[in-house]
Structure 1
Amino acid sequence: MKTLIVAASQRQDSQSSRLAGIVNSRYFEGAADLLHMADKPLPEWDGTGFERDDVKSVKARVEAADALVIVVPEWNGMAPSAIKNFFLWNGLTELAHKPALLIAVSASAGGAYVINEMRTSSYKNSRLLYLPEHLIYRNAGDLWQSEEPTKSDSYLAARTEYAVNLLKAYAEAMKPVRKLALATMGDFTNGMS
């Protein structure tokens, strides 16, 4: 299974990037493709530029993935603009009927608004299939930092393993569905609203 992990923070050395790396090493044995929004891999969306090499490169990485893990920080109760930009550039061809695990990252006790925002605004036309499960990494600066795991570290490690195992199962199960959906979509390329 090919997995793309998107670290959605626009900040270098962010908790989202650190935690995306940990998810990759612990749960994908370092084999997932890691896309850092802090590296500015895509230009700001303006509806043009589809032939740019940087855009084609990112779109190819997304399309090659069987599943996605999207690690999104909560900034002032919202998802950062880089992840919205990611969804403007990537659509049906890259994402339709592809399973994705959402992980919210909060410096404090937040994170729920990001989950809601992503589920509400990023799947309609892309047809990305978010798992019913999601993860919220609260107090992220303390998570998985000490040699002796805290109760929260242990709980989130087990819950992450559970969610990643579900993602892998969804990815296998969705392969024929994705193929059928893309082949028969026809005139129904936009979701209904």
Structure 2
Amino acid sequence: MKTLIISASQRADSQSSRIAGLLNTRYFNNSADLLDLAAKPLPEWDGTGFDRDDVKAVKARALAADALVLVVPEWNGMAPSAVKNFFLWCGAAELAHKPALLVGVSAGTGGAYVINEMRTSSYKNSRLLYLPEHLLMRDVENLWVNDTPTKSDTYLSERTRYAVNLLEAYAKALAPVRKQALETMGAFTNGMS
């Protein structure tokens, strides 16, 4: 399975980037493609520039993926604009009928608002299929940093393994569905609103 892990923070050296890297190391054996939006791989969307090499490169990475993991920080109860920008550039051609695991990141006890925001505002035209499971990485600065795991570290490690196993199962199961859906989509490339 080819997995694209997206660190959705536009802040350099973010906790989202750290968590994305740890997910890759611990749960994907460093085989996932890691896209860090803080590196500014995409220009701000303005409806033009589809022939740009940087845009083509990110779209190709999304297209090559069988599944996605989106590590999204909660900033003032909202997702950062960088992840919204990603969904303006990458749509159904790259993402339709692929499973995605949402990972909310919070410095405090939040993180749930970005899960809701991503579920309601990023799937319509991309046709990305979010798993019913998601992960919340709360008090993230203290998560997975000690040599001796805390109770929270252990729980989230086990929960993450469960969610990643589900993502892999969904990716395998949806492969023929994706093929059929793309072949028959025709004029219905956008979702209904």
Superposed pair shares fold, TM > 0.5: yes
Q: Could you tell me which residue of structure 2 aligns to residue 141 of structure 1?
A: 141
Alpha-carbon distance in structure 2 between the residues aligned to 1:188 and 1:43: 27
Q: Could you tell me which residue of structure 1 aligns to residue 61 of structure 2?
A: 61
TM-score, structure 1 as length reference: 0.99
Q: Could you tell me which residue of structure 1 aligns to residue 132 of structure 2?
A: 132
TM-score, structure 2 as length reference: 0.99
Letter of the 1:13 partner, please give it: D
Alpha-carbon distance in structure 2 between the residues aligned to 1:27 and 1:141: 20
Q: Could you tell me which residue of structure 1 aligns to residue 89 of structure 2?
A: 89
Q: Deviations over 1:98-139 (max 9, x none)?
A: 000000000000001000000000000110000000000000
Task: Give the unaligned 5+ runs of structure 1.
Answer: none
Letter of the 2:50 partner, please give it: F
Alpha-carbon distance in structure 2 between the residues aligned to 1:24 and 1:64: 17
2:165 aligned with 1:165: yes
Q: Deviations over 1:54-81 (max 9, x none)?
A: 0000000000000000000000000000
Alpha-carbon distance in structure 2 between the residues aligned to 1:149 and 1:27: 16
- 1:34-49 matches, cutoff 5 A: 34-49=34-49
Residue 192 of structure 1, CA deviation: 1.0
Alpha-carbon distance in structure 2 between the residues aligned to 1:156 and 1:7: 18
Structure 1 segments of 4 or more deviating over 3 A?
A: none
Letter of the 1:82 partner, please give it: A
Letter of the 1:18 partner, please give it: R
Alpha-carbon distance in structure 1 between the residues aligned to 2:70 and 2:157: 17
Task: Give the unaligned 5+ runs of structure 2.
Answer: none
Letter of the 2:170 partner, please give it: Y
2:23 aligned with 1:26: no
Alpha-carbon distance in structure 2 between the residues aligned to 1:109 and 1:48: 39
Alpha-carbon distance in structure 2 between the residues aligned to 1:93 and 1:5: 18
Q: Could you tell me which residue of structure 2 aligns to residue 177 of structure 1?
A: 177
Alpha-carbon distance in structure 2 between the residues aligned to 1:190 and 1:74: 27
2:108 aligned with 1:108: yes
Q: Could you tell me which residue of structure 2 aligns to residue 153 of structure 1?
A: 153
Alpha-carbon distance in structure 2 between the residues aligned to 1:187 and 1:146: 52
Residue 190 of structure 1, CA deviation: 1.1
Alpha-carbon distance in structure 1 between the residues aligned to 2:19 and 2:82: 17
Residue 181 of structure 1, CA deviation: 0.2
Alpha-carbon distance in structure 1 between the residues aligned to 2:145 and 2:105: 15
Q: Percent identity of the aligned residues?
A: 76
